[in-house]
Amino acid sequence: MTEFDVEVVFEVALKAVKDAGEIIKEAFYKKKSVLTKSCDVDLVTETDQAVEKMLIGRIKENFPNHMFIGEESVAAGENCDLTNDPTWIVDPVDGTMNFVHSFPHSCIALAVLYNKDVHIGIIYNPILDQMYTAKCNQGAFLNDKPIRVSEETDLSKSLVIAEFGTNRDPQKMESVLKNITALMNKVHGLRAMGSAALNMASVAAGGADCYFEFGIHVWDIAAGALIIKEAGGVCLDTEGGPLDLMSRRMICASSEKLALQIIPLLDQLKLERD
């Protein structure tokens, strides 16, 4: 039986995320060398890779029997199999496009799962010094102050986040535009900010009322799923059932009542799982 002490793991994770933030801050306003992955707008930089490498080293040093799933490791061919072992799931720079443009809406997203449940969620925007944290059944915080989702349940008064994503496949783009068109005259406002994790943190802190996306990955959403739950919100599959972290689609909201008003309006996409 693997021992899993959430307090010990959290302290190591928090320090590692803060150290990763220093790497991002150092590079943020400098010229970056940018590579592309699945298409011309799916970007990766040396900072994404340096942050992920540092985090892998930190985890191996402290918890050699823990597993790791990282965006850039998977992009380099590592497997993405979630087991019951303690598993760190990391997006080293979520919002890489924003990072490349020095648009200050990027973060490190780190979740620690045990028995496939998220026990620790940390989302850190080091440029704006926004540290979102949650431990299972212990509440959600922004810079150590408790956060709660909004109480908005009226779709017409809701601020909803949708994303264009980094896939320019015609079918995907058609679906994105269908969803934006279906919603734009039914909500208070629509936003697309370029970071799934920070979008989820905004819902958890009550700054947005709902966010949905097709095409995200487990490393984009695992930390935010716990932070939203601990802030009193919901994360669901885009058709309304339980969230499947590996399904590459998700809707989160301040309440199920609000999510259920949006779900019927969505063009549903089925995507290859993580």
For ligand LIP, the binding residues (CB under 6 A) are: 71, 91, 94-97, 163, 165-166, 194-196, 213, 216, 220
Q: Tokens 């990282």, residue?
A: 70
**Feature table: binding site:** 71, 91, 94, 220
Looking at the Cβ atoms of 63 and 212, the one nearer to ligand LIP is 212
**Feature table: binding site for Mg(2+):** 71, 91, 94, 220
CA gap 140, 227 in Å, rounded: 5
Q: How far is CA 51 from CA 92, 126, 147, 213, in A?
A: 6, 13, 27, 25
Asked whether the beta carbons of 196 and 224 are under 8 A apart, the reply is yes
Looking at the Cβ atoms of 5 and 272, the one nearer to ligand LIP is 272
Looking at the Cβ atoms of 70 and 233, the one nearer to ligand LIP is 70
Q: How far is the CB of 173 from ligand LIP (least distance, A)?
A: 12
Q: Which residues of 259-268 are buried (b: 16+ CB within 10 A; e: fewer)?
A: bebbbeebee
CA gap 84, 101 in Å, rounded: 38
Q: How far is the CB of 71 from ligand LIP (least distance, A)?
A: 6
Q: How far is the CB of 91 from ligand LIP (least distance, A)?
A: 5
Q: How far is the CB of 146 from ligand LIP (least distance, A)?
A: 25
CA gap 82, 218 in Å, rounded: 10
Would you give the DSSP letter of residue 247? Answer: S
